[in-house]
Amino acid sequence: MPPQCPVCHHEIVKGAVACGACGTRLQSPSGEPIVERPTRDDRGPGVTPWAVLRVVAVVIAVMACISILLPLLQHRRGHDVAYSKTQSKNNLKQIGLASHNYHDQYGNFPIGGTFDDEGRGLHSWQTRLLPFVDEQALYDGIDLQAAWNDPVNSVPFAQVRGVYCNRSFPELSQPVNGFALSAYAGNSEVLLRNAGIAIRDFRDGASNTLLAGEVAEGFKPWGDPTNVRNPADGVTGGPLGFGGPKRFPYLLFADGSVKSFSKDVSADVLKALATPAGGEPVDPNSY
């Protein structure tokens, strides 16, 4: 049997001074057999205590950075959410003020949607409010004799307007299919088809009747005359309801006030707040 290295058991050439595989010295220059493990230099680089310490130091530094940055990122996210809610609430307040200024000029709130004799939609309540939300120039660029989705009106109705936008929904920052969308819808019981109602028609009181509110799904263009919903369909989102499933929605009352609604508000309360003259008593603490 040929001789083997006592360390790695690799076959060695007879008379060799060192193992060709692991470098172990097998005999001294004088010919005396020895077994000596290769030095660190012979074996190549190894792991030293200093290398371990450097790795530990890097891990500690990374964990420290994470512990510092994570609360900042969470704070920023919370700040953005709070800002979005505040911005949306202010948008509704501006819409409410604009609706009252419109009422002062025309004697009624804007028509919910205008339609021709064939039922074709022409223009929306949000279009009518443009001059009262500092968008007179945009309003002047609209051909009111043509429908909102007529090619002649393609440019103005593609304009995203801040007062109709909610930054909580990035998809509203760009036109969709050529039309800018709205984060708000009107109350179909108040903003009527081809008719505008006046304050005197709110026998339940303007403070007990909803005018508009946030939506989280089924966004429609602000120029669409069908951009109205019935609050009685709920405030937990969906293509027909107001609000959204993840947060309390803001709704605008006909007196111009804006309030946050619980998702647990009853259907009877929402139905009562939807109608301007239904005669239903409403407890302000019920929503």
What stretches in the chain show pLDDT beneath 70?
1-2, 4, 7, 9-10, 12-17, 20-47, 65, 67, 69-84, 245-247
Q: How many angstroms separate the CA atoms of 211 and 209, rounded? A: 7
The alpha carbon of residue 232 and the mean position of all alpha carbons in its chain are separated, in whole angstroms, by: 25
Overall number of domains in the chain: 2
Model pLDDT for residues 255-269, shown as the tens digit of each residue: 999 999 988 889 999
Q: How many angstroms separate the CA atoms of 174 and 171, rounded? A: 6
**Residue 259 domain-assigned (yes or no):** yes
**Residue 51 domain-assigned (yes or no):** no
Name the 3-class secondary structure at 87: helix
Q: Are residues 30 and 161 in the same domain?
A: no
Q: Are residues 22 and 162 in the same domain?
A: no
Q: How many CA atoms lie within 13 A of 156 on its CB side?
A: 23
Q: Are residues 97 and 28 in the same domain?
A: no
Query: Could you list the residue range(s) of the whole structural domain that residue 196 is in?
Result: 80-282
Q: Residue for token digits 């009252």?
A: 100
Model pLDDT for residues 90-146, shown as the tens digit of each residue: 999 999 999 999 999 999 999 999 999 999 999 999 999 999 999 999 999 999 999
Q: Are residues 278 and 146 in the same domain?
A: yes
Read off the pTM: 0.71
The pLDDT, as a whole number, for residue 262 is 87
Q: How many angstroms separate the CA atoms of 160 and 143, rounded? A: 18
Q: Residue for token digits 């804006």?
A: 258
Q: Are residues 118 and 7 in the same domain?
A: no
Q: Are residues 10 and 116 in the same domain?
A: no
Neighbours of 59 (CB within 10 A): 10
**Residue 53 domain-assigned (yes or no):** no
The pLDDT, as a whole number, for residue 90 is 95
